[in-house]
């Protein structure tokens, strides 16, 4: 992993997913990240205990950090936090609406005291919008942004199975912090950054939103089907397993018709000649494909599709993912043993993936209290 941020100190009053996602990526790049946890700890520690007694979310998002437990409502602990922030390059928080300001570490106040500081506030709906006082969790924002309305089966809306709104907000926060650090190299001044779960997911929802605003109709929920491309759907094989295929243009369709369906007559003329025609005749198209696919097992069909250079994906279980030949993992130390998680996705030449540790609650309490104690105190 990169050490590009090895001289950067990040102080994070964080919880749950969005802010820890952001700061874990900063830690991956070599930043020193001090995670300030409430009395009792980040509540994400208690989501489950599946990883050797640790929460899966916490293990994923808190590698490479130092943990200190502070009760910032108490003056002594609040002063320790302030001394940390005074030495920090970046301050990140995703507390409940208004909590940071009430606690004396709102972005405006901090930026006035420390012009070089980069602050990043992550909220549900931004700090000044009409919904700014609403609490926001991932599935709630999936619902508010319309994501749930286009996810699931035709009969029922569904939740995307991972915390996409949190991840989006954390990704945008991470990118903005990197930009602010680059600008600070030139100007010497920090920036105040704000991201929200709603804004992040609204950006990801741009295509269906444009369909609604300019086409008068949002995409329909179609399960494992693409609303505007065909064939781009799942099909059952001889042994009952599913394969998704994706035909993106007429050249690919012609190749698929000749080499997989063995129906060259469908390649250029007739009801499936272009994507608009294929979408209009989706039901008949999928019936014709299903008739062929049911002749083959998933393994046989995979080989046939691969030979024809047709894009496809097997509908795998999580157990299949765990055993997938393309899955790269890294080892972590946790308070109760080793854990193995996917490596950071970006591969950087000359950089190796290093072992990292997930901190126990308050693991660095004494060391950090000593480091950031008031001058002259013993």
- Tell me how far CA of residue 37 lies from CA of 81, 172, 333, 368, in angstroms: 11, 23, 20, 13
Helix or strand run (H / E) with residue 22:
helix 18-28
Task: State pLDDT tens for residues 161-199.
Answer: 999 999 999 999 999 999 999 999 999 999 999 999 999
With residues binned 3-state (H G I as helix, E B as strand, rest as coil), the percentages for the chain, rounded to 5, are 40, 15, 45
Q: C-alpha angle with apex 260: 267 to 308, nearest 5 degrees?
A: 95
Helix or strand run (H / E) with residue 206:
helix 206-215
**pLDDT > 90? residue 68:** yes
Task: State pLDDT tens for residues 138-168.
Answer: 999 999 999 999 999 999 999 999 999 999 9
* Structural domains in the chain, sorted by start: 9-205+328-371 (3.40.50.10540), 232-314 (3.30.1540.10)
In three-state secondary structure terms, 118 is strand
Higher pLDDT, 378 or 114: 114
**pLDDT > 90? residue 378:** no
In three-state secondary structure terms, 125 is coil
pLDDT attached to residue 278 = 94
Measure the CA–CA gap between 202 and 67, rounded to whole angstroms.
33
Task: State pLDDT tens for residues 32-64.
Answer: 999 999 999 999 999 999 999 999 999 999 999
Inter-residue contact 92 to 10 (CB < 8 Å): yes
Q: How is residue 53 written in tokens?
A: 């007694």
């Amino acid at each position: 992993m990169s050490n590009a941020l090895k001289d950067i100190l990040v102080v994070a009053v964080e919880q749950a997913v969005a802010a820890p996602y952001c700061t874990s990526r900063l830690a991956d790049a070599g930043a020193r990240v001090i995670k300030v946890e409430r009395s009792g700890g980040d509540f994400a520690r208690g989501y489950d205990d599946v990883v050797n007694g640790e929460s899966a979310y916490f293990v994923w998002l808190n590698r490479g950090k130092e943990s200190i437990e502070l009760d910032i409502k108490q003056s002594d602990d609040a002063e320790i936090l302030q001394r940390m922030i005074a030495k920090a390059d970046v301050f990140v928080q995703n507390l409940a609406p208004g909590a940071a300001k009430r606690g004396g570490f709102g972005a405006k106040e901090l930026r006035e005291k420390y012009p070089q500081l980069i602050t990043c506030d992550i909220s549900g709906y931004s700090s000044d919008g009409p919904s700014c006082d609403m609490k926001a969790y991932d599935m709630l924002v999936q619902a508010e942004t319309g994501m749930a309305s286009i996810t699931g089966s035709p009969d029922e809306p569904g939740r995307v199975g991972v915390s996409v709104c949190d991840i989006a907000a954390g990704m945008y926060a991470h990118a903005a912090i990197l930009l602010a650090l680059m600008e600070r190299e030139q100007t010497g001044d920090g920036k105040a950054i704000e991201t929200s779960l709603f804004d992040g997911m609204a950006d990801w929802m741009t295509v269906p939103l444009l369909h609604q605003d300019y086409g008068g109709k949002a995409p329909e929920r179609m399960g494992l089907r693409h609303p505007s491309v065909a064939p781009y759907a799942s099909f059952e094989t001889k042994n009952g397993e599913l394969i998704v295929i994706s035909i993106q243009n007429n050249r690919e369709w012609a190749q698929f018709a000749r080499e997989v369906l063995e129906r060259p007559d469908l390649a250029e003329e007739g009801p499936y000649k272009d994507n608009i025609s294929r979408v209009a005749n989706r039901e008949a198209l999928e019936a014709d494909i299903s008739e062929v696919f049911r002749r083959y097992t998933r393994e046989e069909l995979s080989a046939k599709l691969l030979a024809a250079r047709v894009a496809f994906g097997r509908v795998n279980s999580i157990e299949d993912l765990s055993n997938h030949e393309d899955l790269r993992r890294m080892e972590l130390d946790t308070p109760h043993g080793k854990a193995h998680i996917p490596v950071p996705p970006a591969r950087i030449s000359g950089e190796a993936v290093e072992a990292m540790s997930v901190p126990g609650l308050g693991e660095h309490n004494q060391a950090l209290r000593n480091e950031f104690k008031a001058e002259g105190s013993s």
